[in-house]
Amino acid sequence: MECKKKICFYCRYPPGYFVQDISFDFFNYAGIHRSVKLYTTPTVYIDDITIVTDVKGSDGIVDYSIFNGGPSNDTTIEVQVLDADGIAVATSHKQNEQMIIHNVKLWWPFGMSKKPTAYMYTLKVVMTSAAGIDVYRQPFGVRTVRVTSTQLLINNKPFYCHGVPKHEDSDIRGKGLDYALIAKDFNLLKWLGATCIRTSHYPYAEEIMDQCDQQGIAVIDESPGVGITSVANFGNASLTHHLEVMNEMVRRDKNRPAVIIWSVANEPLVTVPQAEHYFKSVILHTKNLDPTRPVTFVAAVGPDGDYATKYVDILCINRYFAWYHDCGHTEVIQKQVEYDMNKWREHHNIPIIVTEYGADTVAGLHQSPSFVFTEEYQVEFLSEYHAAFDKMRKKFLVGEMVWNFADFMTKEDITRVVGNRKGLFTRQRQPKMSAHLLKKRYESIMNETISVIY
């Protein structure tokens, strides 16, 4: 039937036309991104393992709980803690037990020791029943995480999180799992001197998390709580789903020594009253699931008018002074950073990590004097932030994470030049001038802190 309207919006598009509206700033690739594996179990099997570690003097304390799947009658259990050479250093025959590792080797993040870091043990569990035998080997590291009003502590030593948020994104593969790319990225993280990453804005593939455990890269593990930007997101259905998402993420990653902080959301709307009940529920739920790690969300608001930050253990904030406002005016960065962070500190009296700051930069674009999108501007921009960070680094600032590790694809938009270009590296993993700036800075910070441990 022909439309009789003089001006009709829908007549400008083909029948059935629609555009997916996404509220996050990375490309929404379709398809299966990661490996899918099928496996079978005996009738009685090992369904889950929880490991909590502590340190007392030279001993490592390992509290574990083993959960059965299927009928639990007439089962026997053999539990061993194996060191990195496969030698048993503690044994038990109980499903729940506290074991002691004498002269324990601790898991330290990269950059906190001159000796080998990221030492991993294995909890080997053998469950035997009339239905058969199930064997599971759970890697773990012995380490503690704690926050004070001014510090983030790993094994009771101050840890400064200098690193990068990432994305699972590259040319050709898109978000598809790529082992060679994972190896390349971890080589670049070590070259850069990064001690930590943030899984912006969703849990990353287990293969990436395995590398963090094994190479000592600390992780702020973030849920897919991105795009919670309207009051409509705070309904019971959304809250119920968010709680379940946190259940799944904590269950998957709870035994990983690399995971030091849980992040429940990225840049959510927290300036309306409805946000308080929602985020109080999610944050306290996550703390109940795992009381051994601090919980946060990543804030993009100012220090006033916030209903949710009072429930977090550590404050993570994203700041883009001289980019999204006062664009090009690097001379205001130091003053604005210092004012903003000191106000946050006054309001909450907890440690702060700057989890994003950055400027889009087209590799190979140069200009003197510097101009936005040039490599020179990115270097000047980051340098001003660093000068501000250094004034607070030994007070209450416990981390800085430049956005982003590498350029990544986004939806088509006039504010993005073929994707987000804020990377230190191009999408093909080639360094910009800023990568060399950060390498020098991170190595300098590492040299300051490495003597603290030994």
**pLDDT per position as a tens digit, 163-211:** 999 999 999 899 999 999 999 999 999 999 999 999 999 999 999 999 9
Q: 385, 357 in Cβ contact below 8 A?
A: yes
Spatial separation of the C-alpha atoms in residues 128 and 134, rounded to whole Å: 7
Q: How many helices (H) and strands (E) does the chain have?
A: 7, 18
**pLDDT category of residue 252 using cuts at 50, 70 and 90:** very high
User: Span 418-437, mean pLDDT?
Assistant: 96
Contacts of 125 (CB under 8 A, 6+ apart): 46, 49, 66, 77, 78, 79, 135, 136, 137, 138
What type of residue is 207? E
Neighbours of 36 (CB within 10 A): 5
Q: For domain 146-452, is the CATH number 2.40.110.10? A: no
Spatial separation of the C-alpha atoms in residues 273 and 261, rounded to whole Å: 26
Mean pLDDT of the chain, nearest integer: 93
Nearest to 61 by CA among 19, 106, 8: 106
Question: Is it true that the peptide bond before 201 is cis, omega within 30 degrees of 0?
Answer: yes
pLDDT for 305? 74
Nearest to 255 by CA among 210, 203, 295, 200: 210
Spatial separation of the C-alpha atoms in residues 313 and 283, rounded to whole Å: 10
CA 224 to centroid of chain Cα atoms: 11
User: Span 3-19, mean pLDDT?
Assistant: 74
Catalytic, out of 168, 222, 244, 267: 267
**pLDDT per position as a tens digit, 347-381:** 999 999 999 999 999 999 999 999 999 999 999 99
Spatial separation of the C-alpha atoms in residues 380 and 394, rounded to whole Å: 23
User: Span 276-302, mean pLDDT?
Assistant: 96
Concerning whether 375 is annotated as a catalytic residue, the answer is no
pLDDT over 70 at 396, yes or no: yes
Q: Where do the structural domains in the chain lie, given as residue ranges?
A: 45-143, 146-452
N residues, the chain = 454
Question: Comparing 45-143 with 146-452, is the CATH topology the same?
Answer: no
Please give the residue that has the higher pLDDT: either 44 or 382.
382
For the chain, percent of residues with pLDDT exceeding 90 = 82
pLDDT for 56? 96
**pLDDT per position as a tens digit, 14-52:** 888 888 777 778 878 888 999 999 988 888 999 999 999
**pLDDT per position as a tens digit, 103-154:** 999 999 998 877 778 999 999 999 998 888 999 999 999 999 999 999 999 9
Q: 374, 362 in Cβ contact below 8 A?
A: yes
Lowest mean pLDDT across 109-113, 264-268, 407-411? 109-113
Phi-psi region of 80 (alpha: psi -120 to 50; beta: other; left: phi over 0): beta
Q: Domain 45-143: which topology? A: Immunoglobulin-like (2.60.40)
